[in-house]
Structure 1
Amino acid sequence: MSERSFDFLMPSVNFFGPNVIQKLGERAKMLGMQKPVIVTDHFLETLPNGAVAQALVSLQKAGVDYVIYNGVEANPKIHNIQAVKALYLKEQADSIITIGGGSAHDTGKGAGIILTNGDDITQLAGIETLNNPLPPLIAVNTTAGTGSELTRHAVITNEATHLKFVVVSWRNIPLVSFNDPTLMLEVPASLTAATGMDAFVQAVEPYVSIDHNPITDAQCIEAIKLIESSLREAVANGHNLDARTKMVEAEMLAGMAFNNANLGYVHAMAHQLGGQYDAPHGVCCALLLPYVEQYNLIADPTRFAELAEIMGENTTGLSTRDAAELAIKAMKQLAEDVGIPRSIKAIGSKPEDFAMMAENALQDGNAFSNPRKGTKQDIINIFQAAYDAK
């Protein structure tokens, strides 16, 4: 490991902490933004003193004009990014500011991609396919979370085929990110659980990825510890600012980690569930996590035994294999504690779709870094195990 070289990617500036949203206007002005498109959803736009309202005040104080697209939806579709592009061109905008969770950030990234790299984003799926930079991009995050405000991933759903695909490029990384935990106090418990479990998966997958390195290992370890100590509290009491702050710290660390060590079959398969059934991404990830990692366990039992200890399990006197199995048990317990259902039946999955989804999962941009290399039948079996769970 120490002999292998690696790169490390993240936004050049990251603002963190209560009320950092107030710095948005001055930073936009520093970047030369004169008329950004603000990419958000209708609910956030209407919240009194919410993230959008505070962002607009900051922009107005800095003398930065703007236009708003409020049509972001969960699992953003091609028509969403095309609508942002049309508004951008119509209003002669020069930049993009995303405000929301992963759906807002992915919509903004997707729009930026087709503004500068060609209108058919389906032809750009994959890794480092972009030849041209995106318009200047700032991401204001409101969930903890997908980590999309920090990463090179843009996940879009083709509504015609129900297929989720990912465009992974260093050009997608926002120039500036904002993570203000006070913006997250009103996030409902169910969304807190779903996004929190997404952050957890994004800390676990890079830890066992074939591309992990000492820097990402440290980030994963701290992110997992923070989530173990704070997610349950954040779900139980959304106004617990300490728990919210720890979750933001965790999602940032996990985002940095997977931006560089990549993910694995959990995300590759979750993209299929989310695309096929329009289900929440974090829930899909949480439902699949223990079954994918049970499959992966034999690739590196020591790594999974370490995960058990990181999650606070007592492994004293256990064999490496038994300690590793404790990690799987702990993953299931965390998901159950925060209200994640046990089976993918809960999101409407159908066994007759498993073969198609397995084939697509193996082509997903996250599959290549999984620690165990599987066949189509292996992936079908994992879907089936997650379906049969009781």
Structure 2
Amino acid sequence: MRAVDIIQDKRDGKILSSEKISFFLDGYLKGEIPDYQMSAFLMAVYFKGMNKEELKIFTETMVNSGEVIKFEGINKFLIDKHSTGGVGDKTTIALGGLFASFDIGTAKLSGRGLGHTGGTIDKFESIKGFSFPETKEELIRMTNITGTGVMPASDKIVPLDKKLYALRDVTATVQSIPLIASSIMSKKLAIYTDGLILDVKVGSGAFMKNIEEARGLAKTMLDIGNSFGRKVAAVLTNMDEPLGLAVGNSNEVIEAIETLKGRGPEDFTELVETLTAMALMIKGDVKDLETGKLKVKEVIESGKAIKHLKDFIEYAGGDPNLTENYSLLPMAKKEFLVRTENSGWVSGIEAEKVGKAGMVLGAGRATKKDIIDHSVGVVLNKKTGDEVEVGEVIAKIQYNDDKNLNSSIKFIKEAFKISKEKVLPKKVIFEIHTINI
């Protein structure tokens, strides 16, 4: 079997056997197949795609390239929620408390942020004294006691994906639905859970810019999950504007807490209620979303969800009193009010530019070596569909250093689009797809 023949077969649109796929991927991981041949193969996949069987074998080989984690000893129904990334996406923080309220466990490996989107690990590190488990055993213990377990992603999980992604990034093959789907699903399938919810972001601040691409990605990931016998649901959600009002690490922790108190922004509240209701469907506690949402509202009103989040924070070494006293979180020293120069209705808020407005202040990383400032960020005063008058505050920039303030202001002003015609608010959830539920 020769690598060049496999490249040629895929280039010509032929269906590859499991033996050929395994041979090629295993050879690349071992260093027996060079980057230039893998680059040619990835480009062939970019243009010719993969069918369901090829994709299953491709993903399975990726999964088995490193450690496969099973959480023996966790006494809860485990559900993992994965987001494809967005601005203001603090969903994992809120879902931890909600899932735990229904005896659903969250045991997951999360990442740090890079670019205009934030990372879950960075947000939790806003909390003074907070420390993550360092071993699987510690993660299991945390999950059993608090219902929530989160730790930084390991290089030992799907090492082949890391090697492939680095190559895709420099060969213009990132934007391939089969390659994106197998990359995401290999990492999810390498860590066993009873169910998986995929939050596929759509819009200017997301990886998938339009609904057709997002739908294709969601359906491909559902097919992969189904081929492995997993219960999987996918929700397509809006990222044409930031999720909620808060962007920045401390800001987003606060907004997640406020949401668990029943005081969160409408769009973010709707999303976390829907995702939790989907989890209840996967678990078998409810038969439909509306019943699930009612149960979620009851749990929020009872204070049970915020109590579970406090327990998690305290177990991890943080001060649970921060849920009542936000000054225990890092706070920026200065604030700048961005005012609109036009009257009318907000017709759009470019999520990516708002993310960059926070990133240049230190809320995000331009490179992996950058140090995060957890105190800085942006809080929006207006969302799409809101009416504004000349001089009205549309956003607050929270900062410590004047150095990049003007750049941040410029990004915010460019992000907001004002129309003379009345505009309706944007819905947060576009579509829901499920398999095996």
Larger radius of gyration: 2
Q: TM-score, normalised by structure 2?
A: 0.29
Query: Comparing both structures, which one devotes a greater share of its residues to strand?
Result: 2
Q: TM-score, normalised by structure 1?
A: 0.32
